[in-house]
Amino acid sequence: MIDQAKTLRELVNRTPTLHLRLEAEREPQDKLTLVITSGKGGVGKSVLASNLAVAFAAAGLRTLLVDGDLLFPNQDLLLGLKPRLTMLEAVEGRLPLGKACVPVTGNLWLLPSRAVEAQYLGLEAELVRCLMRFLELESGYDVVVVDTASGLSGRSVDLAGAATELWIVTTPSAPSIADSYAMVKHIWSLGLPTELCLCINGARNERQARDLHARFNQVTRQFLGREVALAGWLPQDPRVEESLETGRPVALAEPRSGLAKAISRVAREFLSRHPLTALRNSKSDTASAW
């Protein structure tokens, strides 16, 4: 039997042979939904989600950040907020989920969660059902960024099915890469129609990120017969730790930093793959906001 984990470790150190690009001509859409997950915790998934939401909002797009982590929601902490209502209170009180959306800054809103308590109250299934319906019918936003639990555990997988793209966040470390491969295998086994992409966080530079992506695809192609697109990469940045303490995402507190510029880059690339009606119809020079 072939040791897939051993092969994966070996390929991490080999010279890449593949550079995959996702290119498609598509009609503009009225709303885009980006779901972000990871194979394991601690790789920067939630930090990426909050910073991406800030970047979309800064570009003039009405953006909703949804804390869809049904185990350990923390977007309110990352944004320095203390919301009065969350999805849980809205569902308990039979209120529209829109009532729980908290304005953050400019064009950005947060839909916070305390879903881990919903499990004990027996409301988890109802909460997910209401959230999915809200995301399907809500038309007041241009971009929705959904932060899910690592591993798409529990009912979080339901949130990924209708996404424009599903991103798996990984770091260059061997354990993170191995968990990301297992995650890709799991998602493809579910037959989700969502486009799957890899986002590499904490890379030394672009070359390392693209080499890692190429080696990752050697494994998926060999064992799964398919390849994963590269959503983008982000550099290491000590400002992240400070942002966790202050409750202000780097893209908001330090918009000229290298990390903030990298966040804007991957946000632009996402929009380039999925044209948005709001951008086409905008009379302002949205590009200048990047």
What does the pLDDT read at residue 149? 87
pLDDT at 13 over 60: no
Model pLDDT for residues 158-192, shown as the tens digit of each residue: 888 879 999 999 999 999 999 999 999 999 998 98
Distance CA 259, CA 51 (A): 9
Query: If pLDDT is split at 50, 70 and 90, which confidence band does 154 have?
Result: low
Q: Structural domain boundaries of the chain?
A: 28-278
| 67 DSSP β-pair partners | 147
**Mean per-residue pLDDT for 109-124?**
74
Distance CA 118, CA 106 (A): 30
Write down how long the chain is: 290
Q: For residue 222, which amino acid is it?
A: Q
> Among 49, 98, 99, 97, which Cα is nearest to 77's?
49
Look at the domain 28-278 and name its fold: Rossmann fold (3.40.50)
Q: What angle do CA 204, 210, 214 make, to 5 degrees?
A: 135
pLDDT at 12 over 90: no
Strands 108-111 and 165-170: unpaired
pLDDT at 7 over 70: no
Distance CA 65, CA 48 (A): 11
What does the pLDDT read at residue 65? 98
**Mean per-residue pLDDT for 237-253?**
91
How distant, in Å, are the alpha carbons of 41, 95, 167, 177, 274 from that of 86?
23, 11, 25, 33, 30
Rounded to two decimals, the pTM is 0.87
Model pLDDT for residues 49-77, shown as the tens digit of each residue: 999 999 999 999 999 999 998 778 899 99
**Mean per-residue pLDDT for 139-147?**
95
Distance CA 19, CA 51 (A): 26
Mean pLDDT of the chain: 85
